[in-house]
Structure 1
């Protein structure tokens, strides 16, 4: 028996790590009636929580041993520490203090294979481990995030009351569900972030087209976005863009956006999404293009130097293009978003089959409808599509979206052609359209690719006219 077993108990939930997200989650849990014990390796953060919030249901200690000892059995401990080695280090510190049946939740953005390994390790010690994807930022964590827990059904049952209490709520239900075994929750959160990369880039490209192409001011673009946000394009990221466009710098009075350097950072989940998609053979060009756009943005000095040598087009927009470009962009934005979500959902579907997770795509659409960063109106018909056809191979062929894409594609093509004509880069709009055209094409030119492979490397190919012949090789040089 550990020292913690004989100590007084009382708190119903523990939160380790009092950074921005950990503190917000602890307050959210306490607000819903649970007694919360908090811990951080920096004792001053515990003091800050006491002084700033004085929450009657939150107590804390700088001693990890005391922290564990003050929790009711089975202990439920949520880790909000930096992903990677710090999670493993925390587990190693906790193992001697925990007892059979206790639950540890990792709510950081952990690599899903690490989560699978940790879940297996904890299971071998009689402990429960849950990898929890949490989306919504500080505001969501404080008042209602979208929560994506992965682990055993038994483990989830032990924490379900708390997670359901703190999750966001919409007309479609709670924004939390048991995603699946071991790493399923963290995988889904990773893909959520990949979709987020592409959605953010689409909005950046939209802004660029309207700003550079039509010469609209930030306020004028915000006005247009506000109109769009009342219709099918409604989303949290569009709403956020409106706020960013309208914000003025208190020092200069200028639009604050104009003072932000055009170099976008990243924390790795977008890169992971593209890497896993390559491993599983799932094309995600929208997400990959968004990742490339961020990487290109970091090459600021090179881009400035290149602009002096590589001159772009000088052709101006026609009167019709000026009159219609905003409307074309609206339709292209919605259609490209649908394609982006289709890629993400397909990646989850394939991973679910590969790892035997049995993830419900309809449920993922429901829990993303509120609290999270990619929440948007289109998630409602997306959910309906996968509710009606759970095994739908691709969202693009659903009855909900196929007619919409067909109707909007002509405007989308006009946007891509017009932006290309005047030299405005729109990588995600372009790659998303190419994905749509490739997916809808019964014939692709990869017959030449495969013939080339056979010609220089004897990689063989299949004949159309002899499907039963298997793979054959030809002498292309004879």
Structure 2
């Protein structure tokens, strides 16, 4: 297929490369001209010769509507816009209705995989009409992992971003559990090697996971995480998950506690937050802070690109 891709940051840039490797023609646009294949959104759309014209957006939620409105002025009947960023799900229905008035179809797609998705594939959670999903299925098939799983048409508009929001809330809770366990093991003087204890759990254990693998990667780079400050940001989805739980009267104590633990990390040094910061950097290439509080980026995955204004 031919498609446009807006936002060539840490995920968008790697997605462009993975799609091209699968044989698709991708015209990318970014506010950084060094990354962009087009001089403007209009120029990007003009370079797409196929029908329907498909444009995938990978930009922060705060600018999605601005990008969509500009694209709506140059796209037409039957064309498709896919928002693959970490957007708030409540915006998807209104966006779909607004675009439908112009004959443009819309999908929301939660994307997980971080900087590793270029080689491992991305988990995709899609919301929108079944017919629209079918139009762009080859794109989803190329981005997802090679196995049976990794893609779901989650439901109507908003379902994709809602599923990704809950995914990230679960991620918060799992990371917090690993981090608290790491801190407890570090505090126990009779445990000879915390790093090797974590490493031993990677096979045969019921708590083995990709996040555990990434935690071990971080410990291999800095065994006691001495070079990191116990400070971790929250990217928004954890807050939205807790807010949705309040609206639906669903108890989510573990996710809530994990979110509040990140708030605690900004008030005082919290050892467990070193592991949270380390794992976030491993899967997402997030900036971490050294012991003096200075931003520090640890190169942790092949194919990672530097941050820039259009990153996810």
Normalised-by-shorter TM-score class: 0.7 to 0.9
**Do the aligned residues in 2 keep the contact of 1:103 with 1:155 (CA within 8 Å)?**
yes
Partner of 1:277: 245
Task: Tell me the residue number matched to 2:151.
Answer: 176
What is the deviation of 1:41? 2.6
CA deviations 1:102-122 (Å, max 9, x no partner) are: 000111100000112211211
**Distance in 1, Cα, partners of 2:40 & 2:238:** 36
Which fold has the larger relative contact order, with Cα–Cα distance below 8 Å and residues 6 or more apart in sequence? Answer: 2
Separation in structure 2 between the aligned mates of residue 130 and residue 17 of structure 1, nearest angstrom: 17
How does 1:29-428 map onto structure 2 within 5 Å?
Answer: 29-46=19-36, 60-71=37-48, 72-84=50-62, 86-141=63-118, 143-170=120-147, 173-216=148-191, 220-231=193-204, 232-248=206-222, 255=223, 257-300=225-268
Moved over 4 A (4+): none
Distance in 1 between residues matched to 2:53 and 2:119, nearest whole Å: 22
RMSD: 1.8
In the TM superposition, 1:390-469 aligns within 5 A as: none
Q: Which has the larger radius of gyration?
A: 1
Following superposition, the deviation at residue 17 of structure 1 comes to 1.3
Distance 1:239 1:105 in 2: 31
Give 1:142 shift.
5.2
In structure 2, what is the Cα distance between the partners aligned to 1:298 and 1:175? Answer: 34
Helix, strand or coil at the partner of 1:201: helix
Distance 1:279 1:285 in 2: 15
TM-score normalized by structure 1?
0.54
Report the Cα distance in structure 2 between the residues aligned to 1:128 and 1:142, rounded to whole angstroms: 29
* Distance (whole Å) between structure 2 residues aligned to residue 76 and residue 214 of structure 1: 57
Equivalent residue in structure 2 for 1:24, among 4, 9, 14: 14
What is the DSSP-based 3-state SS (H/G/I as helix, E as strand, rest coil) of the residue aligned with 2:73? Answer: helix
Higher helix share: 1
Count of paired positions: 270
Distance 1:78 1:139 in 2: 19
1:207 aligned counterpart, secondary structure: helix
Q: Distance in 1 between matches of 2:154 and 2:207?
A: 27
Distance 1:200 1:110 in 2: 22
Shift in Å, 1:124: 2.3
Whose strand proportion is higher, 1 or 2? 2
Q: Which runs of 5+ in 2 are unaligned?
A: 272-282, 284-312
Q: Distance in 1 between matches of 2:190 and 2:83?
A: 47
- Change in CA separation of 1:244 and 1:156 when aligned onto 2, cut-off 3 Å: same
C-alpha contact (below 8 Å) 1:15/1:36 kept by paired residues: yes
Alpha-carbon distance in 2 for matches of 1:141, 1:282: 35
Per the normalisation by structure 2, the TM-score is 0.82
Deviations, residues 198-220 of structure 1 (Å, cap 9, x unaligned) = 00000011101111134536xx1
